[in-house]
């Protein structure tokens, strides 16, 4: 059984919960994290019973030393954010792709038993759809919306019906971030197999929970909405707000990583990790406002789309249930209550308008 695990990016929002889940199962954990300002705000997180090494995953010497004595790796270190990836291209490709390449270069010299890499639902582009007549469509590419036409259409001009997206759907890479995450997946599978390691990739859907960086305008959408509401501002919702997503609690995601480390049959596989339930972005904003005691603050529907965004995508988690024994336990209302209780004790700098201007100035919002 794996006992010593290196978690790259282990001081981040998801990383801290993964570390806690691994410790609870008796693993020894070492964390490698760059503690970047945008995510950590310049602070150094307290990680009990964990060896924290501060360093950049692109630094081969740092990575090599961090791997010493490890049996497995959970690779979470990454720049995160579809919108920002479209103009911070060098930064995102550098950390996400070169960082992963650096990790595997060192793993060639010092192989471990298993590597579990965090991928993203963004690799799908548009999710799976069904035509009104029942035909399934896995090849939908929505043109950049114009004139308020948000939904992909069939040949008769009728909106396609979104359905849960399984892992067999071919990737359609609509953003730099999606390209990065797919490259991380493929590096994991190709290199791990070649050098006798078990490689697993987890495609995470919209992860939320307490502890997410509220002042980072490129973090998860629920945290962004919470920061706006905390400052008395309306959540900013792109398009018409009816785009549908799958929100999965961070504790369920942490459990999935632990299962992926420990399940022999997971080797060489890629799994969706979501809740299996879809909800519209406008509904998320309204439910969060009500839970925070601000039902009077209605979402600001912009009627504009961001380059790299997709319309609908939510998870088919059948493979993770069957192979990993994954069973999400936190319902959205329960998770929302936890987030609200935590947010009430926080302060947040609302940088959403600043982020929007960055996108608009580059012609990435229309």
Catalytic positions, written as ranges? 177
CA distance 261 to 250: 17
CB neighbour burial string for 329-354, b if at least 16 within 10 angstroms, e if fewer: ebebeebbebbbeebeeeebebbbee
- CA-based nearest residue to 46, from 211, 207, 209, 248: 211
CA distance 129 to 135: 9
CA distance 253 to 205: 9
- CA-based nearest residue to 32, from 258, 60, 216, 185: 60
The count of other CB atoms within 10 Å of the CB of residue 220 is: 21
Q: Are residues 51 and 31 in contact, defined by beta-carbon separation less than 8 angstroms?
A: yes
How is residue 2 annotated by DSSP?
-
Q: Identify the burial level of 7 via C-beta atoms within 10 angstroms of its C-beta, where 0-12 means exposed, 13-18 middle and 19 or more buried.
A: buried
Alpha-carbon Rg for the chain in angstroms: 20
The count of other CB atoms within 10 Å of the CB of residue 303 is: 13
> Where do the H-state alpha helices sit in 263-351?
281-291, 318-319, 332-343
């Amino acid at each position: 059984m794996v006992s010593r695990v290196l978690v790259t990016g282990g001081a981040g929002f998801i990383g801290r919960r993964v570390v806690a889940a691994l410790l609870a199962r008796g693993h020894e954990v070492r964390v490698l994290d760059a503690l970047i300002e945008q995510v950590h705000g310049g602070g150094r997180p307290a990680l009990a019973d964990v060896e924290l090494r501060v360093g950049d995953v692109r630094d081969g010497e740092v990575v090599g030393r961090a791997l010493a004595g490890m049996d497995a790796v959970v690779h979470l270190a990454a720049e995160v954010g579809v919108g920002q990836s479209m103009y911070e291209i060098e930064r995102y490709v550098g950390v996400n792709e070169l960082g992963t390449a650096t990790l595997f270069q060192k793993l060639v010299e010092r192989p471990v038993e298993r590597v579990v890499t965090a991928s993203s639902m963004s690799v799908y582009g548009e999710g799976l759809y069904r035509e009104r007549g029942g035909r399934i469509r896995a090849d939908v590419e929505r043109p950049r919306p114009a004139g308020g036409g948000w939904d992909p259409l069939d040949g008769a001009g009728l909106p396609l019906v979104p359905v849960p997206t399984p892992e067999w759907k071919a990737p359609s890479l609509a953003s730099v971030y999606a390209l990065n995450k797919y490259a991380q997946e493929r590096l994991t599978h190709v290199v791990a197999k070649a050098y006798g390691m078990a490689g697993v990739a987890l495609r995470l859907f919209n992860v939320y929970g307490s502890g997410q960086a509220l002042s980072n305008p490129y973090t998860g959408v629920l945290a962004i909405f919470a920061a706006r509401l905390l400052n008395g501002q309306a959540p900013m919702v792109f398009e018409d707000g009816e785009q549908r997503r799958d929100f999965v609690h961070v504790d369920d995601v942490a459990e999935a990583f632990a299962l992926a480390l420990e399940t022999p049959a997971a080797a060489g596989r890629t799994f969706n990790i979501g809740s299996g339930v879809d909800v519209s972005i406008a509904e998320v904003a309204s439910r969060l406002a009500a839970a925070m005691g601000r039902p009077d603050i209605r979402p600001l529907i912009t009627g504009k789309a961001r380059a790299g965004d997709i319309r609908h995508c939510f998870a088919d988690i059948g493979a993770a249930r069957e192979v990993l024994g994954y069973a999400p336990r936190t319902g959205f209302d329960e998770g929302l209550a936890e987030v609200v209780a935590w947010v009430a004790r926080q302060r947040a700098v609302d940088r959403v308008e600043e982020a929007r201007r960055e996108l608009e100035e580059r012609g990435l919002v229309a």
